[in-house]
Amino acid sequence: MRWLAVAAVVLLALAVGLSGAEVYEHRGALYEGRGHMHRVLLEIDLPFVSQHWMITGWKLLGFVGAFCFAGRWLVQAWHRKKTGTATMPTVFWIISLAGAGMVTAYFVWGKNDSVGIITNALPASVALWNLVQDLRNKGKAQKA
């Protein structure tokens, strides 16, 4: 489990960048960002609405986190159908933490939006508490 925490810290350091903010050019416009996650990965011109989306590493991380956070309910629905109970499986809390963590990281480093940070960090703390309680109860059940 420690290797997972170390890997997360190393990946975050690489994503955020250990140096100061840098200015880079993309299609003639100057952008300022910190680390490689601010660089534009993909550009999409949406038809019929004259919208232009620029997908950065942070935005991609935010999308994946949002889909994880939303997709956890599919896991819960599958578990309920399989077991016939209204209990939450452990993986539900793990997916909740992963999704909330990714979206919170997007709002902290990618967007710098305090409202987004609070609205994702608070549910993450509840998911962490529930995961700890779930694992404790499973540990007690195995000892008994």
| Rg of the Cα atoms in the chain | 19
Instruction: Tell me the CA distances in angstroms from 65 to 54, 103, 124, one per residue in order.
Output: 18, 5, 12
3-class DSSP assignment, residue 84: coil
Cα 76 to Cα 98: distance, rounded to the nearest angstrom: 16
Structure tokens at 3: 């290797």
* Residue 80 predicted with pLDDT over 80: yes
**What is the pLDDT at residue 78?**
92
pLDDT tens readout for residues 18-43 = 555 566 666 676 666 656 677 778 88
* Residue 126 near residue 99, CB atoms below 8 Å: no
pLDDT of 30 reads 67
Judged against a pLDDT cut of 80, whether residue 131 lies above it is answered with: yes
82-129: pLDDT as tens digits: 999 888 889 999 999 888 888 888 888 777 778 888 888 888 888 889
Dihedral angle sign, alpha carbons of residues 144, 75, 115, 16? positive
Pick from 28, 12, 9, 1: which is nearest to 108 by CA? 12
pTM for this entry:
0.67
SS3 27: coil
